[in-house]
Amino acid sequence: MRRLLAAVALLAVGALPALAQPTRLTVGQTFMAASADPAEGNAGWALTSHGVGETLFTVNAEGQVTGQLAEAIQREGDGSWIVTLRSGRRFADGAPMTTADVAASLGRTSEKNAAARASVGRMTLATLDERRVRITSERPTPVMAAVLAEWPFVVYRLAPNPVFSGPYMVENLRPGDGLSLQPNPHFPGAANRAPVALKRFPDAQTMAVALEAGELDLAFNLPAEALPRLKSRSAVTVKSFLVGYQYMMVMNTRRDHLADARVRRAIDLGINRAQLVQAVQGGEPATGAFARGLPFALAEARPFDATAANRLLDDAGWRRGTDGRRSKDGKALDLVLVAYPQRADLVTFQPVLRAQLAALGIGIQTRVVDNAGAVGTAGDFDLLLWAQHTAPAGDPGFFLNAMFRTGGGNNYAGFSSAIIDAQLDRLAETGDLAARAALAAEIQRQVFAAAPVSFLMTPAWHVGLGPRLAQYEPWGSDYYVVRADLLPR
């Protein structure tokens, strides 16, 4: 990996023309790419967020799937798809983008990265000519453009290490710490862009202090409690926006206490989401897996019903003692609730949820971990607070497959349902948008009944800006932080 990062850095520095550039911008975030290889973990997401990676298709500011590196896509009679590339695109080292590069990179990522197989299984790619690629997937899909907009499918050239095509290129990556970017000289408008220093902060409070001290031009996802102080500073502009993320709580169905769906449903019903919204000073109670306004989102907020929750726990055999705590067969109903500091709101939730579940007789211990993905993969939790963009490609299929299909890449709950698996198979065969929305709604209702995950809220996020970037407009999520239009005044 060190050789990979060093090679990327040398490549970037060696490719730079001698241009007079604007002064470097400094961007603060609580997350950072851990790798420069899109086939590893969530690196594809991070590299796109950092302005380095591009996909064949993307989602624009209005939430519509549109071509990025591709200009067209057409379905063949055998269920395969023909993608036509835009002409004239180059990688950051100046090499022209070829169909062989696209086929090799996406085929490699499909084979190595479980998240790339969430929607359609493995992909087979074949070059037809200098601009057309044929894509055949293990599971059929009627919405391949949306699949190719999913974050794992960043296009790159192995030379022998990944080289990308976005508006910026990697100068130096220090995993877990920081990232130095230079404008990609082969992306239009390079002369107007400034170098960017991305700095990772261990928590949002520390990042807010750095913004207040004038050390940052942009601070992404500030804690709500810092907003009044920051808004009083004339040199700081704060902009807030609803995101496509959902905050949720994963319940580990492999744990004895949580194997019973009645217990999981009781926990879900015992959560007062309005209090969570109040705790983080923004957002909306969740209606399900998707943010309100998306065509496959549900309309009604998830219910809070402590009476029904208590009845379910009674029915499951968990009885209250004289101290109000529940136990069964001599074992207390005690659970560990895990959060991670990169999403400050989730840590804020912990005491609120502890009090709400204590009212049901459930004992809650809280734990904060730095690598929630590793904890989820290992199943080392009872309850795991989790933040995820549930429609990064403008379609419900990716999230529902990754989180709820048996063996799905993000199925941290260890959940399995033959009914939901069959519904996901039907979703893969359904192209009509209204029919896809109806199926997605039914899958969500099945999830509510089994409750492997409790959907909590759609958050509002806050971006702090220094004078040079006061015109910056956030949109969508943290998938598009460093963009081609990140131009200083």
Evaluate the CA torsion angle 31, 34, 35, 39 in order and state its sign.
negative
Q: How far apart are CA 42 and CA 311, in angstroms?
A: 41
Q: How far apart are CA 218 and CA 205, in angstroms?
A: 14
Quick: pLDDT tens for 11-40: 444 444 444 567 999 999 998 998 999 999
According to DSSP, residue 258 is labeled G
| Residue ranges per structural domain of the chain | 2-186+462-469, 245-458
Residue positions counted in the chain: 489
Number of helices followed by number of strands (H, E) in the chain: 14, 24
Beta-carbon contacts of 95 under 8 Å, excluding residues fewer than 6 positions away, are: 157, 159, 163
Burial of 224 (0-12, 13-18, 19+ CB in 10 A): buried
Locate tokens 């810092």: which residue? 226
Burial of 262 (0-12, 13-18, 19+ CB in 10 A): middle
Model-level pTM?
0.80
Q: How far apart are CA 44 and CA 364, in angstroms?
A: 35
Evaluate the CA torsion angle 311, 312, 316, 322 in order and state its sign.
negative
In tens digits, the chain (489 residues) has pLDDT values of 434 444 444 344 444 444 456 799 999 999 899 899 999 999 999 999 999 999 999 988 777 899 999 999 999 988 899 999 999 999 999 999 999 999 999 999 999 999 999 999 999 999 999 999 999 999 989 999 999 999 999 999 998 989 999 999 999 999 878 999 999 999 999 999 999 999 999 889 999 999 999 999 999 999 888 999 999 999 999 999 888 899 999 999 999 999 999 999 999 999 999 999 999 988 999 999 999 888 899 999 999 999 999 999 999 999 999 999 999 999 999 999 999 988 889 999 999 999 999 999 999 999 999 999 999 999 999 999 999 999 888 889 999 999 999 999 899 999 999 999 999 999 998 989 899 999 999 999 999 999 999 999 999 999 999 999 999 999 867 788 999 999 998
| End-to-end Cα spacing for the chain | 37
For 127-144, give one letter per residue: b (16+ CB within 10 A) or e: beeebebbbbbeebbbbb
Which of the four CATH numbers 3.40.50.1860, 3.40.470.10, 3.90.550.10, 3.40.190.10 does domain 2-186+462-469 have? Answer: 3.40.190.10
Question: Chain centroid to CA 5: how far?
Answer: 24
Q: State whether residue 55 is helix, strand or coil.
A: strand
**245-458: CATH class:** alpha beta
